Amino acid sequence: MRDEVQDYYGKHLSGSDDLQTNACCDQTPPEHLKPLLTRLHDEVISRYYGCGLVAPAALEGTRVLDLGCGSGRDAYLLSALVGERGSVVGVDMTEEQLAVARRHQDFHRDQFGHGHSNVMFLKGFIEELDQLDLEPGGFDVVVSNCVINLSTDKAKVLTDLKRLLKPGGEFYFSDVYADRRVPAALTRDPVLYGECLSGALYWNDFLNLSKDCGFADPRLVESRRLTIDNPAIEAKLGDIRFYSATYRLFNLDGLEPACEDYGQAVVYKGTVAEQPHGFLLDGHHYLPTGKVFPVCGNSWRMLAESRFRSHFDYIGDFSTHYGIFQDCGLNPPFNDTTPSSGGGCC
């Protein structure tokens, strides 16, 4: 199927208007990104295919890897966010898309006032990152936008990118997921696959795969239902529902499989420029500026051992364990009439 996908994006699609469904369509960007998006080259925008936004907070000075960078829209947006002290490497398998991206390097260097281009594009397959000249542990952040579903070896992708991430680095990505396993017959349909549908993982298989590949606590940032908007394709898919979702996976060894309470808390300082009033870690954790916010051990580590460390004050350690956070879905199953003194970060 890899050759079919390469042909679909390299020769069949000449622009986003050629897509047959709405699976690879963006949401409205946040206000702080809109001015940057208007400065991207029109050809780069016209050849963009994605289902979300992959611009996490606090990227200044970081090194970012963009998997399936295509025409370079996200790579160039990220190049503005990382600044001249940072850098972005884009990887794509489609020569036609890479030609568009490379054609406009000087344009974007000038647009963002950089003395030199901080973007590099490599041709390669995201299942073969180990065959590219990429430094192990060399990236603060890896992103991808509606690309993992197109891969025929998703476990290899996750394993390779974990090796490329620094300790405390993260994989922040948007992709398409299904509410059940897609039948094998549909996965052989090149149009359904190219439209980012039949290669989509069942969401629970994705969670288990992430954990098997060393990302013990996947965090869902946001999600939305995809409506497809093509009656013929909807008829083929039957009752399968598809969702666009953004996850963040932190490269932290030893994360626990559940939300464990060690009496810890954090206080957000409000110092991330694009999030002055509160910090969004994931869909269950919005941390208001200045508020003492109880968190589980995993959340504490995701902040304390990542690029976000300096933006928080930290309370507590791991010396005393109080069990599972209440209301986290993993409370003890036993009957107990004793009132709980717990509170939850979830």
Taking the C-alpha atoms of residue 308 and residue 301, their distance in angstroms, rounded to an integer, is 10
Averaged pLDDT of the chain = 89
**Which pLDDT belongs to residue 52?**
81
Query: Per-residue pLDDT tens for 264-320?
Result: 999 999 999 999 999 999 999 999 999 999 999 999 999 999 999 999 999 999 999
What is the share, in percent, of the chain residues with pLDDT greater than 70? Answer: 87
**Which pLDDT belongs to residue 123?**
97
Exposure string over 329-341, b if 16+ CB within 10 A, otherwise e: eeeeeeeeeeeee
Taking the C-alpha atoms of residue 317 and residue 253, their distance in angstroms, rounded to an integer, is 17
Query: Per-residue pLDDT tens for 59-94?
Result: 999 999 999 999 999 999 999 999 999 999 999 999
Contact 180, 205 (CB under 8 A): no
Query: Per-residue pLDDT tens for 93-140?
Result: 999 999 999 999 999 999 999 999 999 999 999 999 999 999 999 999
**Which pLDDT belongs to residue 312?**
98
Per-range mean pLDDT, top range of 23-27, 29-33, 290-294: 290-294
Q: What confidence tier does 4 reach under pLDDT thresholds 50, 70, 90?
A: low
**Which pLDDT belongs to residue 191?**
85
DSSP string, 205-272: HHHHHHHHTT--S-EEEEEEEE----HHHHHHHTT--EEEEEEEEE--TT--SS-B--SEEEEE-S-S
286 vs 47, more confident: 286
Q: What confidence tier does 228 reach under pLDDT thresholds 50, 70, 90?
A: confident
**Which pLDDT belongs to residue 18?**
45
**Which pLDDT belongs to residue 331?**
53
Contact 178, 153 (CB under 8 A): no
**Which pLDDT belongs to residue 56?**
96
**Which pLDDT belongs to residue 50?**
77
**Which pLDDT belongs to residue 247?**
96
What is the share, in percent, of the chain residues with pLDDT greater than 90? Answer: 75
Taking the C-alpha atoms of residue 201 and residue 217, their distance in angstroms, rounded to an integer, is 18
Contact 10, 94 (CB under 8 A): yes
* Rounded mean pLDDT, 228-254: 92
Taking the C-alpha atoms of residue 96 and residue 92, their distance in angstroms, rounded to an integer, is 10
Q: What confidence tier does 11 reach under pLDDT thresholds 50, 70, 90?
A: very low
Question: In this structure, what token pair is assigned to residue 122?
Answer: 């490599």
